[in-house]
Amino acid sequence: MKNDFTLTPHVGAKGFGVLLNLFFPSLLKRRSLSTLMTALTLISLYGCAKKDDPAPDPKKEEPDPGTNPGTNNLVDYDPTFPLYEGKANFSAMLPDGKVVIWGSSEKTAEQVFRVTKDGQHDADFDTGKDKSWFIRKANDIAVQKDGKVILAGEFLVNGKTCSIIRLTSSGVLDNSFTPYDVTKLTSYTITISNLLVLADGKIVFSQSMFNSSLSLRYNGIFGLNANGTVAFSVEGAWIRRVNDDTHIIGSNEINDIIQLSNGKLMVCGGVKFFNKRRYVARINSDGSLDESFDFKESINGGVGDPLCLAEQNGKILVGGSFNALVSESQRDTQYPFLNLMRLNADGSIDQTLGVNTITNHPIGIIVRDDNSFVTLSNAFSNGDNTHISLYNSNGVPKASYNIADSKSALKNLFRQSNDKLLVTGNILNSSHSYAIARLNVK
């Protein structure tokens, strides 16, 4: 079942008064039963508006993105969460529901800002107060439990260039953190992404380095201690010389890193891990490969790389643009997937996952309390503008919805609670761009 969001204008106190003026004079003149019934019917239809609702502003451009609260949609914009004008390139959510955004906003001139759990600009976080650093390039963002913010990119800090810095919970540079610097490798184009703060405070990220003149590419996974010093690097998770198959080879970067409930890391991307694991691998907390997880599949025809991961009751949901997966050792027939697969604890494909009918590949997955899950997607080249899809616990699709214009660039899906999810990105509707919105999920 696929449902497009619909928009219904609200009737405020002024509209309610107009209805009374229209119908009650007739009642006084004729006092007919039919007129009375007509008036009562119309009043009951429009009487859901609160008396203190503001009158509609005729100058305000309508409609804003959102649906009609109170409909039977399983997903709907939360009318209590204000639509936040701006754009989110990178974002991360704190345990208290606040969201730190790296992008732009009409409410502040700063590139990095914070939004309260109820959608208001948080003035207690202000990066403009500290002039000792500035941003040259943005790559990713993560947050610690104590509210501190990790930024990855290219920065000038006290006249020195570095790649990862930390801000305090108020937005100023945290000088207790040793900035991570890879810019000394000037012959390489370097990209740091997939920032993740682990439960023990360590910081994990992927690092891609490429030298086009030497045809050298290195992809690695690194862990930093809480103070910024290097804790570990994942030995073997590197891409070496492109024409050398004796080491790790691949053309794409690592796409996603998550921490599992047992503390281990799950990693996906268009790379081989340790020359035998492709696309998905499990990493122990010390950075070594978990040999008990053996993903033996390869993507048929190179149609796409895994893009996102989520843990579902011990199993792993992997979202990507899959046309088919082919087992190199167990079968020579294709097992079809469109954009979603589920892996067992040993890395084998869980073929009890429901038949996938949604054509857009997910960029984010949220698992709910009952193990049902929600995926976030962007518009697809075939014209499918599905953004939000709901699945039951076995992966059978329940419903899908469009929540914005097809040219929107959605980035992240966060869980504030079991029935409230946050979407960030460039959420377009008409001439408006919104950085963040909240969804109610039934």
Phi, psi (deg, nearest 5) at residue 12: -95, -165
CA geometry: angle at 141 spanning 137 and 146, to 5°? Answer: 135
Q: Give me 197's structure tokens.
A: 């703060």
Does 71-133+188-441 carry CATH code 2.120.10.30? Answer: yes
Least confident of 103-107, 258-262, 282-286: 282-286
Helix (H, G, I), strand (E, B) or coil at 19: helix
Please give the model's pTM, rounded to 2 decimal places. Answer: 0.79
Residue 31 has pLDDT above 80, yes or no: no
What letter does residue 180 receive in the DSSP assignment?
B
Residue 260 has pLDDT above 90, yes or no: yes
Residue 12 has pLDDT above 80, yes or no: no
Mean pLDDT in residue range 291-306:
69
Q: Give me 430's structure tokens.
A: 């008409």
Per-residue confidence (pLDDT) for residue 325, from 0 to 100: 66
What is the share, in percent, of the chain residues with pLDDT greater than 90? 45
> 231 CB contacts (<8 Å, ≥6 apart)?
202, 223, 224, 225
Distance in angstroms (rounded) separating the CA atoms of residues 45 and 4: 24
Q: Give me 81's structure tokens.
A: 């969460």
Phi, psi (deg, nearest 5) at residue 421: -120, 150
* 150 against 71, higher pLDDT: 150
* 229 against 210, higher pLDDT: 229
Residue 170 to residues 102, 149, 424: CA-CA distances in angstroms?
15, 9, 22
The tens digit of pLDDT for each residue in 155-181 reads 999 888 899 999 999 999 999 999 998
Mean pLDDT of the chain: 77
2-4 and 397-402 as β-strands: parallel, antiparallel, unpaired?
A: parallel
Q: Give me 168's structure tokens.
A: 């305090």
Q: What are the sequence ranges of the domains in the chain?
A: 1-60, 71-133+188-441
Mean pLDDT in residue range 410-423:
97
Distance in angstroms (rounded) separating the CA atoms of residues 152 and 155: 8
What separation, in Å, do the N-terminal and C-terminal C-alpha atoms of the chain show? 16
Mean pLDDT in residue range 222-233:
88
